[in-house]
Structures are given as structure tokens and as C-alpha cells.
Amino acid sequence: MLFDFENRNYALVTSTTYGNWLPGEERGFVSKNEENIFGTPFRSAEPELKRYTQNNLRGVPVFLDGEKAETLLRQWHEEVEKQAWNLLVAAIMSNLSIYLSKRRKPLERATCFEHSKVG
């Protein structure tokens, strides 16, 4: 199971795609598990680290166009059905944000989303 809803009724899933938010970025970043805690401030820009990271990517950055966003949303709908969750909100742009609830109630499927072209 992806999430332990034992003591929670909701889950927020957020993610960026590969190569789209690198260590050293001007907007700030989190690089270690100890820093990846809610409320912990982002680290400041480190241009040398960003250049190093860009030069050492193992693949090309992944950008979500409309087709990829639709595929990703369909996959989330399949998982929600398997797990008996509610998919309350889905925002798929240059990143992904999904808001889930614990038990499935008769709700309409989330079908509205926007995508933006990046890169």
C-alpha cells in the first residue's frame, strides 16, 4: 500500500518530474532526507551545485505536456479505484499534486486539470 491511512483521513502527494527541480536552484531546494520535513526552510541557491547537478543528470529532464498529464491522471484514477480512496483534487502542471481521502464515497472523478509547457 502506498499510504498508511491508519491514523489519517487525508494524504497530499506532491512530486516534481525528473530534472525539473535540481539541488542548487535559485528558488531553493531540499537535498537531504533530514531537510525534507514539513516546515523546514529550503536551502538557498548554490549556482555551482546546480551546474554540477545539470551536468551529471543520468537522463533528459521529463516535462509534462498535455498527453503525459492525461496519462498520469488516468494512472492515478486506476490506483484510487484499487485502493478504495477518493481522489479529491489533481493538479498536474510542471509538477504533480494529488489530494486523497481515506474511504471512497460516491464522488465524481477528478477530470479537470491544467498543464503548462515547460522547457
How do residues 46-105 score in pLDDT, each as one tens digit? 999 999 999 999 999 998 889 999 999 999 999 888 888 888 899 998 788 888 887 655
> DSSP secondary-structure letter at 19?
T
Place of cell 506532491: 14
> Would you say how long the chain is, in residues?
119
pLDDT per position as a tens digit, 7-46: 678 888 888 899 988 999 999 888 776 677 778 888 899 9
pTM: 0.65
> DSSP secondary-structure letter at 98?
E
Place of cell 460516491: 106
CA distance 15 to 34: 17
112 or 103, which is more confident: 103
